[in-house]
Each structure stands twice: as structure tokens, then as C-alpha cells.
Amino acid sequence: MDTFTQLTLNGLTEGSTYALIALGYTLVYGVLKLLNFAHGDVFMVGSFIGYGILKVLGGAGDPQVPVWLLLTLMVLGGMVGCAVLGVAIERFAYRPLRDAPRIAPLISALGVSFFLANSFQLMFGAQQYNYGIFFLDGGSLYTEGFNIGNVHIPLIAIITILSAFALMVALWLLVTRTRTGKAMRATSFDREAAAMMGIDIDRVIVFTFIIGSALAGAGGVMFALRVPTAASIGFVIGLKGFTAAVIGGIGSIPGAMAGGLILGFAEAYIAGYWTTRWSDLVIFSVLILFMLFRPSGLLGQAGIKKV
């Protein structure tokens, strides 16, 4: 039972990170019909920004500000930094190609992904960077928390999961309750009609990128709070995030959240109960099956494209 609890906790923490990335994919795909390959690398940039802020404020061994403020600043910094990066990517790499054949922005996205990952490798080397949260405040983030059975749920896990959920709820409210959210949904439904209705498409797209990239940035910081980050993690994380988005149904926000959690649990249980060696293979194969037989995912809707 303890194993199950621990694995569930692992799955929940990983899954909430995947959900944040999947949301970014879903949002951008909704308005642009483009798979943003560079999204995983934006995630990576977020984790590096968090590291930078941590170091500027004294590092995990000797922070100059209270722990709560430190964490908040890191996450906010990651969100803001990645939002700016996302806007830049959209403006310079995707906007000129908005009317080009579909293959063009995809290849451009590949180029951006490679450029980001290798630029960071150039600037910061290929080694892993550890936030060292384990040593922060005498390890209190790990020792405090509560127990379920024999399993200790550390404070850091609680913070991570709750923050991720808070962000997702905020996003959901934004998209369903505000005018901008309505504009986003309209644009993702039919871009030309939305333009004719007087919605400024450019602004909506920029806004989408801001939100999506900010989520990725937050995800990056929260991810790196637990595990080391490196310049090369963007690629694999991007694939996982995309898997989560497709499983949940690309274009659907609750779908992305669900997909992320499902993927997190699947990884944890497969690795925990069966074998770690083939877990990637299983997940990728499941995804391919999904795409072949249920491309709309679990919660998405099969769309009918008019020609």
C-alpha cells in the first residue's frame, strides 16, 4: 500500500508538470493550428531563469529573502521571462509564416527548438544544474509535511501540486469567464470568422503565447525544484507534454490537464510496478494508437474541416 501511495504521489507531481506543458501546447494549437516544437525548450529556459534568480538571491545555502518570497519570485520570474520569450518566438519565427504552407512553421519551430537548446548549452554548458532545494532552510521543505501510512508527503510536493492546480484553475477561469478568453476560443474555432467579427487576431495570438509560455515557465521552475535541470531536457519534456496533450484531446483545456495527470500516473505506475526499461516504448506506442484510432483524444471533439 505504501508503494502505491508513493507512486501515486510521484505521478501526481510529475503529472501536474506535464499538465502545465500540455496546456501550453493545446492553447497554441488551438489558435494557430501549429505544434509548437519549441515549447519544451521554453520550459527549459524557465527552469534556468529560476536558477538564475535563486543564485542572485544568495543560493539555496544562504538565501537573502524568506523562503516563501524566494519561491514566489522564482516562479514569477520564470513566468515573466518565458512569456517574453514566447512572444519573441511568435513574432519572429511564426508570424512571418502564418500564411505559408503548413510545413513551413513546423520546420521553423524545429529550428527554434534547436536554437534554444543549443544556445543554452553554449552559454551554460551541458551539465546538470541542481537548485539545491534540499538544503534550503535546513531541508525544511522536505522534512515538513504530513504522512499517509509510512509515506511522507513533503511540503515541497504539496506546494508544487497546489500551485500547478491553482494555475490551471486560473487559466480555466480566464478562458471561460473573460472576454479575452472568449476571443481565444473564437479564434481557435474559426480564425477567419473571428477576424471578420472584429477580433484582433494578432493580439489574441500574442496573448495565447504569453499564457502558454508563462505556464511552461512556471512548470519549468517547479520541475527544477525537485530534479536537476540541464540545457538538453527540453526535447524529451516536449515530447511528453505533447503526448499528454494528445491523450487528453488537443484543443481542449480540461483535456490537457487530464492528459498530463494520466501520463504522470502511467509513467509512475509502469516504472514502479513493471519495468523502467520499456516504459517509454509503452507510452509512445499508446500515443500512436491514440492518434490512429482516436485522434480527438479523450476529451476533445472530432472536428469537421470545411474545404
Residues between 90 and 129 with contacts to another protein, criterion CB under 8 A: 92-93, 96-97, 100-108, 110-119, 121-129
- The cell numbers describing 256, all together, are 490537457
Q: Does 284 bind another protein (CB under 8 A)?
A: yes
Task: Tell which one of 44, 251, 267, 300 touches another protein (CB under 8 A).
Answer: 267
Q: Does 180 bind another protein (CB under 8 A)?
A: no
Q: Does 59 bind another protein (CB under 8 A)?
A: no
Q: Does 83 bind another protein (CB under 8 A)?
A: no
- Provide the minimum distance between the beta carbon of 170 and another protein in the complex, in angstroms, as a whole number: 25
Q: Which one of 166-174, 178-186, 194-202, 284-292 is the stretch in contact with another protein (CB under 8 A)?
A: 284-292
Q: Which one of 168-176, 197-205, 207-215, 227-235 is the stretch in contact with another protein (CB under 8 A)?
A: 227-235
- Provide the minimum distance between the beta carbon of 262 and another protein in the complex, in angstroms, as a whole number: 15
- The cell numbers describing 124, all together, are 551554460
- Provide the minimum distance between the beta carbon of 166 and another protein in the complex, in angstroms, as a whole number: 22
Q: Does 208 bind another protein (CB under 8 A)?
A: no
- Provide the minimum distance between the beta carbon of 18 and another protein in the complex, in angstroms, as a whole number: 11
Nearer to another protein, 10 or 252 (CB): 10
Task: Tell which one of 246, 247, 253, 258 touches another protein (CB under 8 A).
Answer: 246
